[in-house]
Structure 1
Amino acid sequence: MNDQPLRLVLIIASTRQGRFGAAIGRWTAGIATGRPEFATDVIDLAELHLPADLGGSAHAAEFIGCIGDADAILVVTCEYNHGYPASLKLAIDTVRNEWAAKPVGFVSYGGLAGGLRAVEQLRQVLAELHAVTLRDTVSFHSPHDHVDQNGRVTDPATAKSAEAAAHTLFDRLTWWGTALRAARTAHPYALTG
Protein backbone atom coordinates (compact mmCIF):
# COMPACT_ATOMS: atom_id res chain seq x y z
CA MET A 1 0.00 0.00 0.00
CA ASN A 2 2.87 2.40 0.71
CA ASP A 3 3.96 2.38 -2.94
CA GLN A 4 0.47 3.35 -4.16
CA PRO A 5 -0.03 7.03 -5.03
CA LEU A 6 -1.90 9.06 -2.46
CA ARG A 7 -5.48 9.80 -3.48
CA LEU A 8 -5.75 13.57 -3.47
CA VAL A 9 -9.14 15.24 -3.72
CA LEU A 10 -8.89 18.85 -4.89
CA ILE A 11 -12.06 20.81 -4.12
CA ILE A 12 -12.84 24.06 -5.95
CA ALA A 13 -15.16 25.80 -3.48
CA SER A 14 -16.69 28.83 -5.16
CA THR A 15 -19.91 28.43 -7.11
CA ARG A 16 -20.58 32.13 -7.64
CA GLN A 17 -21.31 33.34 -11.17
CA GLY A 18 -18.21 35.03 -12.60
CA ARG A 19 -16.01 33.33 -10.00
CA PHE A 20 -12.23 33.20 -10.22
CA GLY A 21 -11.98 29.84 -8.46
CA ALA A 22 -11.82 27.80 -11.65
CA ALA A 23 -8.65 29.65 -12.72
CA ILE A 24 -6.97 29.13 -9.34
CA GLY A 25 -8.18 25.52 -9.40
CA ARG A 26 -6.57 24.98 -12.82
CA TRP A 27 -3.27 26.37 -11.54
CA THR A 28 -3.43 24.15 -8.45
CA ALA A 29 -4.37 21.05 -10.44
CA GLY A 30 -1.46 21.74 -12.78
CA ILE A 31 0.97 21.64 -9.87
CA ALA A 32 -0.72 18.51 -8.43
CA THR A 33 -0.53 16.55 -11.67
CA GLY A 34 3.21 17.20 -11.78
CA ARG A 35 3.61 15.45 -8.45
CA PRO A 36 3.91 11.66 -9.04
CA GLU A 37 3.04 10.77 -5.45
CA PHE A 38 -0.58 11.86 -6.03
CA ALA A 39 -3.50 10.54 -8.03
CA THR A 40 -5.66 13.65 -8.17
CA ASP A 41 -9.43 13.97 -8.47
CA VAL A 42 -10.79 17.49 -9.01
CA ILE A 43 -14.24 18.25 -7.62
CA ASP A 44 -15.74 21.57 -8.66
CA LEU A 45 -18.62 22.39 -6.31
CA ALA A 46 -20.21 24.44 -9.12
CA GLU A 47 -20.81 21.14 -10.92
CA LEU A 48 -21.89 19.19 -7.84
CA HIS A 49 -25.50 19.67 -6.79
CA LEU A 50 -25.69 18.95 -3.07
CA PRO A 51 -29.08 19.19 -1.35
CA ALA A 52 -29.27 22.15 1.03
CA ASP A 53 -31.23 20.06 3.54
CA LEU A 54 -28.24 17.63 3.76
CA GLY A 55 -30.49 14.86 2.47
CA GLY A 56 -29.21 12.06 0.32
CA SER A 57 -28.67 12.34 -3.41
CA ALA A 58 -26.49 10.71 -6.04
CA HIS A 59 -24.16 13.74 -6.00
CA ALA A 60 -23.96 13.67 -2.20
CA ALA A 61 -23.15 9.94 -2.20
CA GLU A 62 -20.47 10.47 -4.86
CA PHE A 63 -18.89 13.33 -2.88
CA ILE A 64 -18.99 11.40 0.40
CA GLY A 65 -17.33 8.44 -1.36
CA CYS A 66 -14.57 10.67 -2.77
CA ILE A 67 -13.76 12.12 0.65
CA GLY A 68 -13.94 8.63 2.18
CA ASP A 69 -11.45 7.26 -0.36
CA ALA A 70 -9.11 10.26 -0.14
CA ASP A 71 -5.72 10.12 1.52
CA ALA A 72 -5.43 13.92 1.39
CA ILE A 73 -7.70 16.85 0.57
CA LEU A 74 -6.79 20.22 -0.90
CA VAL A 75 -9.37 23.02 -0.79
CA VAL A 76 -9.19 25.95 -3.21
CA THR A 77 -11.25 28.66 -1.54
CA CYS A 78 -12.07 32.30 -1.95
CA GLU A 79 -12.95 34.73 0.79
CA TYR A 80 -16.40 36.30 0.74
CA ASN A 81 -17.21 38.88 3.41
CA HIS A 82 -14.28 37.73 5.61
CA GLY A 83 -15.40 34.09 5.40
CA TYR A 84 -15.48 31.05 3.18
CA PRO A 85 -18.33 30.41 0.72
CA ALA A 86 -21.61 28.80 1.73
CA SER A 87 -21.12 26.15 -0.96
CA LEU A 88 -18.06 24.89 0.91
CA LYS A 89 -19.87 24.77 4.25
CA LEU A 90 -22.64 22.73 2.61
CA ALA A 91 -20.06 20.35 1.14
CA ILE A 92 -18.26 19.97 4.48
CA ASP A 93 -21.51 19.30 6.32
CA THR A 94 -22.70 16.80 3.70
CA VAL A 95 -19.80 14.55 4.71
CA ARG A 96 -19.43 13.33 8.28
CA ASN A 97 -16.98 10.72 9.52
CA GLU A 98 -15.06 10.53 6.24
CA TRP A 99 -13.12 13.71 7.13
CA ALA A 100 -11.56 12.06 10.20
CA ALA A 101 -7.79 11.55 10.25
CA LYS A 102 -7.33 13.10 6.80
CA PRO A 103 -4.93 15.97 6.08
CA VAL A 104 -6.48 19.07 4.55
CA GLY A 105 -4.46 21.79 2.83
CA PHE A 106 -5.58 25.14 1.46
CA VAL A 107 -5.02 27.33 -1.56
CA SER A 108 -6.84 30.62 -0.97
CA TYR A 109 -7.41 33.81 -2.88
CA GLY A 110 -9.09 37.18 -2.59
CA GLY A 111 -8.43 40.83 -1.89
CA LEU A 112 -5.67 42.07 0.34
CA ALA A 113 -6.04 39.18 2.81
CA GLY A 114 -5.66 36.58 0.06
CA GLY A 115 -8.40 34.41 1.52
CA LEU A 116 -6.50 33.73 4.73
CA ARG A 117 -9.45 34.71 6.98
CA ALA A 118 -11.52 32.04 5.25
CA VAL A 119 -8.76 29.49 5.86
CA GLU A 120 -8.61 30.33 9.57
CA GLN A 121 -12.36 29.74 9.88
CA LEU A 122 -12.08 26.46 8.00
CA ARG A 123 -9.45 25.25 10.47
CA GLN A 124 -11.99 25.54 13.29
CA VAL A 125 -14.73 23.72 11.38
CA LEU A 126 -12.49 20.90 10.17
CA ALA A 127 -10.96 20.38 13.62
CA GLU A 128 -14.46 19.52 14.85
CA LEU A 129 -14.58 16.80 12.18
CA HIS A 130 -11.21 15.36 13.31
CA ALA A 131 -9.43 16.43 10.13
CA VAL A 132 -5.81 17.57 10.30
CA THR A 133 -5.36 20.99 8.71
CA LEU A 134 -1.92 21.94 7.48
CA ARG A 135 -0.11 25.07 8.56
CA ASP A 136 1.48 25.76 5.17
CA THR A 137 -0.82 27.33 2.59
CA VAL A 138 -0.76 29.06 -0.78
CA SER A 139 -2.43 32.45 -0.84
CA PHE A 140 -3.13 34.71 -3.81
CA HIS A 141 -3.64 38.35 -2.86
CA SER A 142 -5.58 40.34 -5.46
CA PRO A 143 -5.47 37.36 -7.84
CA HIS A 144 -7.00 39.19 -10.81
CA ASP A 145 -3.75 41.16 -10.99
CA HIS A 146 -1.52 38.08 -11.13
CA VAL A 147 -3.44 35.11 -12.58
CA ASP A 148 -5.27 34.86 -15.89
CA GLN A 149 -8.52 32.96 -16.52
CA ASN A 150 -6.54 29.94 -17.75
CA GLY A 151 -4.79 29.60 -14.40
CA ARG A 152 -1.46 30.97 -15.59
CA VAL A 153 0.36 33.20 -13.14
CA THR A 154 1.36 36.17 -15.27
CA ASP A 155 3.71 37.97 -12.88
CA PRO A 156 7.11 36.21 -12.69
CA ALA A 157 7.76 37.11 -9.04
CA THR A 158 4.30 35.91 -7.99
CA ALA A 159 4.73 32.74 -10.05
CA LYS A 160 8.03 31.91 -8.37
CA SER A 161 6.78 32.47 -4.82
CA ALA A 162 3.42 30.74 -5.44
CA GLU A 163 5.09 27.65 -6.93
CA ALA A 164 7.56 27.47 -4.04
CA ALA A 165 4.68 27.72 -1.54
CA ALA A 166 2.72 25.09 -3.48
CA HIS A 167 5.58 22.61 -3.43
CA THR A 168 5.99 23.11 0.32
CA LEU A 169 2.25 22.52 0.74
CA PHE A 170 2.38 19.38 -1.43
CA ASP A 171 5.40 18.11 0.51
CA ARG A 172 3.40 18.49 3.73
CA LEU A 173 0.36 16.79 2.17
CA THR A 174 2.61 13.92 1.11
CA TRP A 175 4.04 13.50 4.61
CA TRP A 176 0.70 13.73 6.42
CA GLY A 177 -1.16 11.74 3.77
CA THR A 178 1.35 8.90 3.97
CA ALA A 179 1.52 8.92 7.76
CA LEU A 180 -2.23 9.07 8.30
CA ARG A 181 -2.98 6.45 5.64
CA ALA A 182 -0.59 4.07 7.41
CA ALA A 183 -2.11 4.92 10.79
CA ARG A 184 -5.70 4.42 9.57
CA THR A 185 -4.70 1.09 8.03
CA ALA A 186 -2.92 -0.16 11.17
CA HIS A 187 -5.48 1.19 13.59
CA PRO A 188 -8.76 2.67 12.26
CA TYR A 189 -9.57 6.07 13.72
CA ALA A 190 -12.40 5.70 16.23
CA LEU A 191 -14.91 8.50 16.58
CA THR A 192 -16.92 8.83 19.77
CA GLY A 193 -20.19 10.59 20.38
Structure 2
Amino acid sequence: MMSQDRIRTAVIVGSTREGRFADTVARWFVGRAALDEAIDIDLIDLAEADLPATLQDVPPPEVEAMKSRLADADAFVMITPEYNHGYPASLKFALDSAREEWMAKPVSFVSYGGIAGGLRSVEQLRQVCAELHMVSTRDCISLHNCHGLFDEAGLLKEPSGPDAAARTMLDQLLWWATALRNARAERPYGA
Protein backbone atom coordinates (compact mmCIF):
# COMPACT_ATOMS: atom_id res chain seq x y z
CA MET A 1 0.00 0.00 0.00
CA MET A 2 1.31 3.46 -0.93
CA SER A 3 2.21 5.56 2.11
CA GLN A 4 -0.15 8.39 1.07
CA ASP A 5 -3.03 5.88 0.99
CA ARG A 6 -2.39 4.70 4.53
CA ILE A 7 -4.65 6.04 7.26
CA ARG A 8 -2.64 8.35 9.49
CA THR A 9 -3.91 7.44 12.95
CA ALA A 10 -3.05 9.46 16.04
CA VAL A 11 -3.15 7.13 19.04
CA ILE A 12 -3.55 9.36 22.10
CA VAL A 13 -2.57 7.96 25.49
CA GLY A 14 -4.79 9.93 27.85
CA SER A 15 -3.41 9.11 31.29
CA THR A 16 -0.56 11.08 32.80
CA ARG A 17 -0.83 9.49 36.24
CA GLU A 18 2.37 8.31 37.90
CA GLY A 19 2.52 4.49 37.91
CA ARG A 20 -0.17 4.33 35.23
CA PHE A 21 -1.23 1.12 33.50
CA ALA A 22 -1.58 3.00 30.20
CA ASP A 23 1.90 2.00 29.03
CA THR A 24 0.95 -1.69 29.04
CA VAL A 25 -2.33 -1.07 27.22
CA ALA A 26 -0.71 1.28 24.69
CA ARG A 27 2.12 -1.18 23.90
CA TRP A 28 -0.40 -3.93 23.26
CA PHE A 29 -2.74 -1.78 21.15
CA VAL A 30 -0.04 -0.11 19.06
CA GLY A 31 1.57 -3.50 18.44
CA ARG A 32 -1.78 -4.92 17.39
CA ALA A 33 -2.70 -1.95 15.17
CA ALA A 34 0.73 -1.96 13.52
CA LEU A 35 -0.08 -5.38 12.04
CA ASP A 36 -2.51 -3.61 9.68
CA GLU A 37 -0.67 -2.30 6.62
CA ALA A 38 -3.37 0.33 6.06
CA ILE A 39 -2.51 2.17 9.28
CA ASP A 40 0.30 4.64 9.90
CA ILE A 41 0.52 5.27 13.67
CA ASP A 42 1.53 8.48 15.42
CA LEU A 43 1.65 7.81 19.17
CA ILE A 44 0.84 10.95 21.19
CA ASP A 45 1.52 10.22 24.85
CA LEU A 46 0.11 13.07 26.92
CA ALA A 47 2.55 12.20 29.73
CA GLU A 48 5.35 13.25 27.36
CA ALA A 49 3.58 16.11 25.56
CA ASP A 50 4.41 18.63 28.31
CA LEU A 51 1.12 20.46 27.89
CA PRO A 52 0.49 23.37 30.27
CA ALA A 53 -2.14 23.29 33.00
CA THR A 54 -4.04 26.29 31.63
CA LEU A 55 -5.70 26.99 28.30
CA GLN A 56 -4.05 30.13 26.98
CA ASP A 57 -5.21 32.64 24.38
CA VAL A 58 -1.90 32.17 22.57
CA PRO A 59 -1.07 28.46 22.73
CA PRO A 60 2.52 27.64 23.73
CA PRO A 61 4.76 25.64 21.37
CA GLU A 62 3.89 22.32 23.06
CA VAL A 63 0.20 22.80 22.29
CA GLU A 64 0.94 23.95 18.73
CA ALA A 65 3.11 20.85 18.21
CA MET A 66 0.28 18.58 19.35
CA LYS A 67 -2.25 20.44 17.20
CA SER A 68 -0.02 19.99 14.16
CA ARG A 69 0.09 16.24 14.73
CA LEU A 70 -3.69 16.15 15.18
CA ALA A 71 -4.19 18.12 11.96
CA ASP A 72 -2.06 15.57 10.07
CA ALA A 73 -4.16 12.66 11.33
CA ASP A 74 -6.97 11.02 9.37
CA ALA A 75 -8.29 9.22 12.47
CA PHE A 76 -7.88 9.04 16.22
CA VAL A 77 -7.77 6.32 18.85
CA MET A 78 -7.98 7.46 22.46
CA ILE A 79 -6.59 5.17 25.12
CA THR A 80 -8.27 6.05 28.38
CA PRO A 81 -8.58 4.69 31.87
CA GLU A 82 -11.60 5.27 34.04
CA TYR A 83 -10.84 7.50 37.00
CA ASN A 84 -13.79 8.00 39.36
CA HIS A 85 -16.33 7.14 36.63
CA GLY A 86 -14.71 9.51 34.12
CA TYR A 87 -11.75 10.10 31.87
CA PRO A 88 -8.56 11.94 32.92
CA ALA A 89 -8.28 15.72 33.01
CA SER A 90 -5.19 15.49 30.80
CA LEU A 91 -7.32 14.06 27.99
CA LYS A 92 -9.96 16.77 28.45
CA PHE A 93 -7.26 19.43 28.23
CA ALA A 94 -5.94 17.92 25.00
CA LEU A 95 -9.45 17.81 23.54
CA ASP A 96 -10.10 21.44 24.49
CA SER A 97 -6.73 22.61 23.13
CA ALA A 98 -7.72 21.97 19.51
CA ARG A 99 -10.85 22.44 17.41
CA GLU A 100 -10.59 22.28 13.63
CA GLU A 101 -7.92 19.58 13.91
CA TRP A 102 -10.55 17.14 15.25
CA MET A 103 -13.36 17.95 12.83
CA ALA A 104 -14.84 15.47 10.36
CA LYS A 105 -12.52 12.67 11.47
CA PRO A 106 -13.34 9.36 13.14
CA VAL A 107 -12.39 8.41 16.66
CA SER A 108 -12.29 5.05 18.42
CA PHE A 109 -11.58 4.19 22.02
CA VAL A 110 -9.50 1.71 23.97
CA SER A 111 -10.60 1.83 27.58
CA TYR A 112 -9.40 -0.01 30.62
CA GLY A 113 -10.23 -0.25 34.28
CA GLY A 114 -11.91 -2.40 36.86
CA ILE A 115 -15.20 -4.19 36.45
CA ALA A 116 -16.60 -1.55 34.05
CA GLY A 117 -13.52 -1.67 31.83
CA GLY A 118 -13.45 2.08 31.40
CA LEU A 119 -16.77 2.19 29.55
CA ARG A 120 -18.10 5.08 31.64
CA SER A 121 -15.17 7.21 30.47
CA VAL A 122 -15.95 6.25 26.86
CA GLU A 123 -19.60 7.28 27.30
CA GLN A 124 -18.46 10.74 28.37
CA LEU A 125 -15.83 10.98 25.64
CA ARG A 126 -18.40 10.19 22.95
CA GLN A 127 -20.37 13.29 23.99
CA VAL A 128 -17.33 15.55 23.94
CA CYS A 129 -16.08 14.14 20.63
CA ALA A 130 -19.49 14.69 19.02
CA GLU A 131 -19.36 18.33 20.14
CA LEU A 132 -15.95 18.60 18.45
CA HIS A 133 -17.48 17.23 15.20
CA MET A 134 -15.75 13.85 15.37
CA VAL A 135 -17.48 10.64 14.31
CA SER A 136 -17.11 7.91 16.91
CA THR A 137 -17.13 4.30 15.84
CA ARG A 138 -19.75 2.10 17.42
CA ASP A 139 -17.34 -0.57 18.62
CA CYS A 140 -14.46 0.05 20.98
CA ILE A 141 -12.07 -2.04 23.03
CA SER A 142 -12.84 -2.35 26.73
CA LEU A 143 -10.37 -4.13 28.98
CA HIS A 144 -12.23 -5.16 32.14
CA ASN A 145 -10.17 -5.86 35.26
CA CYS A 146 -7.18 -4.94 33.16
CA HIS A 147 -4.43 -5.79 35.63
CA GLY A 148 -5.42 -9.45 35.50
CA LEU A 149 -5.46 -9.60 31.70
CA PHE A 150 -1.71 -9.09 31.22
CA ASP A 151 1.24 -11.11 32.49
CA GLU A 152 4.37 -9.68 34.13
CA ALA A 153 5.93 -9.06 30.69
CA GLY A 154 2.94 -6.95 29.63
CA LEU A 155 1.52 -9.56 27.26
CA LEU A 156 -2.12 -10.53 27.14
CA LYS A 157 -2.73 -13.87 28.83
CA GLU A 158 -5.69 -14.62 26.53
CA PRO A 159 -5.36 -12.42 23.43
CA SER A 160 -8.22 -13.83 21.34
CA GLY A 161 -11.00 -11.62 22.77
CA PRO A 162 -9.11 -8.30 22.78
CA ASP A 163 -7.54 -9.07 19.39
CA ALA A 164 -10.98 -9.75 17.88
CA ALA A 165 -12.32 -6.52 19.40
CA ALA A 166 -9.34 -4.65 17.96
CA ARG A 167 -9.97 -6.05 14.49
CA THR A 168 -13.64 -5.03 14.56
CA MET A 169 -12.85 -1.56 15.87
CA LEU A 170 -10.00 -0.98 13.42
CA ASP A 171 -12.14 -2.12 10.46
CA GLN A 172 -14.77 0.46 11.41
CA LEU A 173 -12.17 3.16 12.00
CA LEU A 174 -10.51 2.54 8.64
CA TRP A 175 -13.85 2.62 6.82
CA TRP A 176 -14.84 5.94 8.39
CA ALA A 177 -11.36 7.42 7.98
CA THR A 178 -11.32 6.62 4.27
CA ALA A 179 -14.86 7.90 3.70
CA LEU A 180 -14.27 11.12 5.64
CA ARG A 181 -10.85 11.77 4.10
CA ASN A 182 -12.41 11.46 0.64
CA ALA A 183 -15.31 13.70 1.68
CA ARG A 184 -12.97 16.38 3.09
CA ALA A 185 -10.95 16.31 -0.14
CA GLU A 186 -14.10 16.74 -2.23
CA ARG A 187 -15.70 19.37 -0.03
CA PRO A 188 -14.00 21.05 2.95
CA TYR A 189 -15.87 20.59 6.20
CA GLY A 190 -17.33 23.74 7.71
CA ALA A 191 -18.90 23.97 11.12
Q: TM-score, normalised by structure 2?
A: 0.95
**Percent identity over paired residues:** 50
Match of 1:98 among 97, 101, 106: 101
Q: Distance in 2 between matches of 1:6 and 1:72?
A: 7
Deviation per CA, 1:124-159, whole angstroms, max 9, x where unpaired? 0111110001110111011110124654102x2xx1
Aligned counterpart, 1:79 = 82
**CA–CA distance in structure 2, aligned partners of residues 177 and 141 of structure 1:** 27
**Closer/same/farther in 2, CA of residues 3 and 94 from structure 1, 3 Å limit:** closer
Alignment RMSD: 1.4
The answer on whether the counterparts of 1:123 and 1:133 sit within 8 Å (CA) in structure 2 is: yes
Are 1:174 and 2:177 matched, yes or no?
Answer: no
Runs of 4+ in 1 over 2 A off after TM superposition: 148-151
* Residue 81 of structure 1: how far off its partner (Å): 0.2
Q: Give runs of aligned pairs for residues 29-44 of structure 1, distance below 5 A.
A: 29-44=30-45
Which residue of 147, 155, 159 corresponds with 1:144? 147
* CA distance in structure 2 between the partners assigned to 1:39 and 1:175 by the alignment: 15
User: 1:54: how far off?
Assistant: 1.6
Deviations 1:71-95 (A, max 9, x none): 0100110000000000100010011
Q: How does 1:122-141 map to 2 (within 5 A)?
A: 122-141=125-144
- Per the alignment, do residues 151 and 35 of structure 1 end up closer, same or farther by CA in structure 2, a change over 3 Å counting? farther
Distance 1:184 1:21, change over 3 A: same
Unpaired segments of 5 or more residues in structure 2? Answer: none
- Distance in 2 (CA, whole Å) between partners of 1:151 and 1:176 is 31
Query: Given the superposition, is the C-alpha separation of residues 129 and 4 from structure 1 closer, same or farther in structure 2, using an over 3 Å criterion?
Result: same
Gap change, CA 1:149 and 1:59, over 3 Å in 2: farther
Change (3 A) 1:128 1:149: farther
Aligned residues: 188
Distance 2:5 2:152 in 1: 33
1:110 corresponding residue in structure 2: 113
Matches within 5 A, 1:41-60: 41-55=42-56, 56-60=59-63
Paired amino acid for 2:117: G
More helix, by proportion: 1
